[in-house]
Amino acid sequence: MEAADLLSIVCAIKEQSIDCVLMIKCATRRVVRNLTVNSKSNYDNGWFGNPNAPLYRTIICLLRARQAKTYIQYVPIHSHALMKNVHKLAKSAADKRQEDNIDLTYPADFDVPGMSLKHLTQSRAYKYIKSLKRVKDRTSTVTNLDRARYANGEISGPIPRDYQLWKSIRTKDVRRPIRDFLWRAMHSTYKVGRYWSHVKDKEHWAICPICQCDESMEHILTECPGNGQETIWALARDFWKNKHPYWPKPSLGSILSCTSTSFGGTSKRTRATNRMYRILIAESAHLIWKLRCKHIFNTATPTQPPTDAEVRHKWNHAMEQRMRLDFHMSHKHLTTKSLPMKLVAKTWSHTPLESAFQSLRSDEQSGVLVGRGNIDRPPDHSQQDYGDLPSPTQL
C-alpha cells in the first residue's frame, strides 16, 4: 500500500511541469510524514531500514528539482468524494495482469547517497554494517517456506510472502513453546530423520521406530500410522466442525502456515474463527511432537505406539488448559496486556468447550473462586513461623 502511494506520487510529480504549483493529496499518513516533517532525519539516515527507500529517494530528488512549490496533504480515504474515486481506480489497478512500466529515473545531481556522518551514531553504524552481511538461505528453510506459502494459498486464497509467514509465527495467539516449535520446524532444525543418516552408529535413528520407514517432520505430524497423529487430527476435525464447514486436510505446509491462515473476511467472527484455527492446529501439532518425543526417549519400548485412550486424554487436557489460559488472559487486571473478552468468547463459541468457558465466566461473575489459589504458589517466607529458632540478628 505504501509502495503504491509512493509510485503514484512519482507519476504525479513527473506529469506536472516543474514550474507549476503542485498539490498532492495522500491517504497514508506515514507517507506524508516521511516526506514532510521526517524527511530531513530520514535523509540524514540514508533511509536506512525503510523497505521503500529507493522510492523515497526518487521522490525527494524529484521534489528538489522542482522550481515551484509542492504541497503534500494527508486526506483520510473516506473523507472526500475524490478519494473514493481514487480508491476505485486503485482497486481496478490491482486487477491488472501486467505491471505498468513506471519511469523511476531522477536527476542524480540532487541525490546525496549514504548516511550523513554528522548524524551517524555508533549504534546505527553497527546496524548498517550488520545489514551488509547477507545470510545465506538454508535449502530446507526455503523448501518449507514454499510448502507453507502454497498450502496457505490453497486455503486462504492469496499466497503470502515469506516475511508475512515469519511475522505471523510470532502471533501471541499461540503459546511461546509452540511458536518456538513452529519456528524450528520451519528451519528444519530438529534432529529427526535424515540428520541421523550421516552420524556414525546412529543411522538407525533415521528410521521411525514404530512403522520402520524413513522419518521426517512431515511423517511424524501427518503420516505415521502409529504415533497417535491420526487420532489427534480426527479429534481436531470434530472440534472444528461446528466452527466452520471447511476443514483443510492437515499437511506439513498447512501446519507451518496455520498462524497466517484466513477463512476470508475481516469481520470479528472471522477473526475469532482464524484465531481458533491457529490455536487448534498449533496445539494439536505440538502435542503430536511432544508425544513422539516422550515415547521415544522416556519409554522402555519405543516401538510400542501410545494407546488411543492416552492420546485422547492428552489432547482433551491440552485444549482445556488452552481454553483456561485464554480465559485468564482476558482478565481486566492485566490492563493493556489482557485479551478482549468478546474476542476470547467468540473464539471458543461453537466448540465443545463453549459450555466450559461460559461456566468459568459465570463462576467469576457470581464471585466463586476459580482455580486453586495458593496451592501452586511458593511459600511466603515473610509470614513463615520459625518457632523457637533464633532470629538472624541473634545468630
Q: Which residues make up the interface to Zn ion (CB under 5 A)?
A: 208, 210-211, 224
Q: Measured from the CB atom, is 223 or 364 closer to Zn ion? A: 223
Shortest separation between residue 305's beta carbon and Zn ion, angstroms: 9
Q: Measured from the CB atom, is 192 or 208 closer to Zn ion? A: 208
Shortest separation between residue 256's beta carbon and Zn ion, angstroms: 19
Shortest separation between residue 213's beta carbon and Zn ion, angstroms: 6
Shortest separation between residue 310's beta carbon and Zn ion, angstroms: 17
Shortest separation between residue 298's beta carbon and Zn ion, angstroms: 18
Shortest separation between residue 225's beta carbon and Zn ion, angstroms: 7
Q: Measured from the CB atom, is 41 or 303 closer to Zn ion? A: 303
Q: Measured from the CB atom, is 5 or 218 closer to Zn ion? A: 218
Q: Measured from the CB atom, is 221 or 360 closer to Zn ion? A: 221
In single-letter form, the type of residue at position 62 comes to: L
Shortest separation between residue 352's beta carbon and Zn ion, angstroms: 29
Q: Measured from the CB atom, is 77 or 213 closer to Zn ion? A: 213
Shortest separation between residue 212's beta carbon and Zn ion, angstroms: 8
* Dist. CA 102–CA 96, nearest whole Å: 14
Q: Measured from the CB atom, is 208 or 276 closer to Zn ion? A: 208
| Largest distance between two CA atoms of the chain | 94
Three-state secondary structure string covering the chain: CHHHHHHHHHHHHHHCCCCCCEEEEECCHHHHHHHCCCHHHHHHCCCCCCCCHHHHHHHHHHHHHCCCCEEEEECCCCCCHHHHHHHHHHHHHHCCCCCCCCCCCCCHHHCCCCCCHHHCCHHHHHHHHHHHCCCCCCHHHHHHHHHHHHHHHHHHCCCCCHHHHHHHHCCCCCCHHHHHHHHHHHHCCCCCHHHHHHCCCCHHHHECCCCCCECCHHHHHHHCCCCCHHHHHHHHHHHHCCCCCCCCCCCHHHHHCHHHCCCCCCCHHHHHHHHHHHHHHHHHHHHHHHHHHHHHHHCCCCCCCCCHHHHHHHHHHHHHHHHHHHHHHCCHHHHHHCCCHHHHHHHHCCCCCHHHHHHHHHHHHCCCCCCCHHHCCCCCHHHCCCCCCCCCCCC
Q: Measured from the CB atom, is 120 or 211 closer to Zn ion? A: 211
